[in-house]
Amino acid sequence: MKLRRVSRVPRVTAAAVVATLAATLTACGSDDNSGLPGAVDFSAETLRCAPEGGTLLASGSSAQANAMEVWLNTYQANCDGSQINYKPTGSGAGIQEFLQGTTAFAGSDSLLTEGEVNESRSVCAAGGERGHAVHLPMVAGPVAVGYNLPGVPELVLDAATTARIFDSEITRWNDPAIAELNPDVELPDLPITPFHRSDGSGTTDNFTSYLHAAAPEAWPYEPDKNWRGHGGQAADGSSGLVGMVQQNEGAIAYFELSYAHQNDITTARVATGADEPVAATVENASTAVAEAEVVGADGDLALELDYATDAPGAYPIVLVTYEIVCDRGNNPDTLSLTRAFLRYVASQEGQEQLARIDYAPIPDDIIQRVRERIDAMS
């Protein structure tokens, strides 16, 4: 499927997004999700359950794991007879399971390749219909650069310096390139230990998309779900990276903001060329997401992000997580429950739960189109 630019998301202020949300709660960044908010009771008019219930299997992005936990708990608490299981195996593994026909949908923080879309045609062929996989953007958020550096509560990094750190070219925290960005900070003469994901990850894809777009000379590698840089150490999943940063003085890694907040990990501000370095916050991520463009065709809602933005207050390292589904030819045994659950996820209520756990909701214009695509699934 060829992607082309077809429309632009209207700008919305981050304040307008956040103003619609309830009080902030902290998300969980490990396998223990006890810090997540509990299920919310909705009326039948607000949350339309699949009438026959059933069981649903899905897998993929660990970036949206905390959001999925909240959504699943709420849906199942309101809809008797429905059992939905989501495995945060990473975007790469989730896509493969979807393409093998073992799951109803996949969560991915990066877009399918043209080959994967073509491969999906053999999966999206139930009930005599012929369809293909489409991207439904459901959740967005900042990818934070977290570090463990006692005595340094604030740190500024730019794309080129970050790229050289993660490519093992800058190896000590008092390197002149870091010192130049932090003139008022006493940086220790301490080795830097960069950590990256060992699994195929949409978070890695988005992080390296930022490095490649904003500092192509320092990061010449093409963005990928699999790590392409030199050196460093690897850990499995975002929770694995969090653990490595917590346990190793001098460590640095990348993971979703919710993981950083839940685990009290300090995050760097990013120098983008704007007047002030930009912090990793939901509000600043919303500013960046509002600049996204739809590049999908034929009902596909894939977005293009500007990782090299220098707009004031726009945090550039953001990811959008998609639920990947068949537009047509879905398994009739799971279609009703898939459609009902995703309707709730895309609803105003489902989206309003996001900022409570350090995610950014999808802009109104796009999420309305997502709702229309879900209703049209067959």
| Helix pair angle (91-99, 202-214), 10° resolution | 120
pLDDT of residue 9 exceeding 70: no
- CATH superfamily entry for domain 143-285: Periplasmic binding protein-like II (3.40.190.10)
CA distance 351 to 368: 11
Which has the closest alpha carbon to 17: 349, 369, 361, 370?
361
**What pLDDT does 20 receive?**
33
Average pLDDT over residues 354-373: 90
CA 72 to chain centre: 17
Measured CA to CA in angstroms, residue 121 lies from 16, 92, 99, 131, 298 at distances of 40, 18, 9, 6, 14
Determine how β-strand 251-256 pairs with β-strand 133-147.
antiparallel
Residues 21-34: tens digit of each pLDDT: 322 222 333 333 44
- pLDDT at 31 (0 to 100): 38
Q: What is the per-residue pLDDT for 68?
A: 96
**Contact present, 214 and 165 (Cβ < 8 Å):** no
User: For 100-154, how does the pLDDT look when each residue is reduced to its tens digit (9 = 90+)?
Assistant: 999 999 999 889 999 999 999 999 999 888 999 999 999 998 999 999 999 999 9
* pLDDT at res. 35: 56
- Whether 143-285 and 7-140+292-304+320-376 are alike in CATH topology: the answer is yes
pLDDT at 200: 83
| Gap between the Cα atoms of 37 and 66, Å rounded | 10
Task: Say what the pLDDT of residue 212 is.
Answer: 98
| Backbone CA torsion sign across 297, 140, 113, 86 | negative
For residue range 145-155, list pLDDT tens digits in order.
999 999 999 99
Buried residues in 150-183 as b, exposed as e (16+ CB within 10 A):
eebeebbbbbbbbbbbbbeebeebebeebeebbe
pLDDT at 84: 96
Q: Which CATH superfamily is domain 7-140+292-304+320-376 in?
A: Periplasmic binding protein-like II (3.40.190.10)
Question: What's the pLDDT score for residue 299?
Answer: 85
Dist. CA 149–CA 248, nearest whole Å? 9
User: What is the average pLDDT value for the chain, to the nearest integer?
Assistant: 88
Decide if pLDDT at 46 tops 50.
Answer: yes
| CA–CA distance, 245 with 207 (Å, rounded to integer) | 17
pTM for the full predicted model: 0.77
Locate tokens 């300090």: which residue?
A: 266
For residue range 296-306, list pLDDT tens digits in order: 888 899 999 99
Domain boundaries, the chain: 7-140+292-304+320-376, 143-285
Q: What is the pLDDT of residue 24?
A: 28
pLDDT confidence band for 2 (50 / 70 / 90): very low
For residues 28-43, average pLDDT: 50
Q: Quick check: 303 and 295 in contact, CB under 8 A?
A: yes
The per-residue pLDDT for range 253-264, each reduced to its tens digit, is 999 998 999 899
Phi and psi torsions of 297, nearest 5°: -125, 160
| Number of other residues whose CB lies within 10 A of the CB of residue 368 | 11
Q: Kindly report the backbone phi and psi dihedral angles of residue 160, in degrees, each rounded to the nearest multiple of 5, phi listed first.
A: -65, -45
Phi/psi at 147 (nearest 5 deg)?
-145, 160
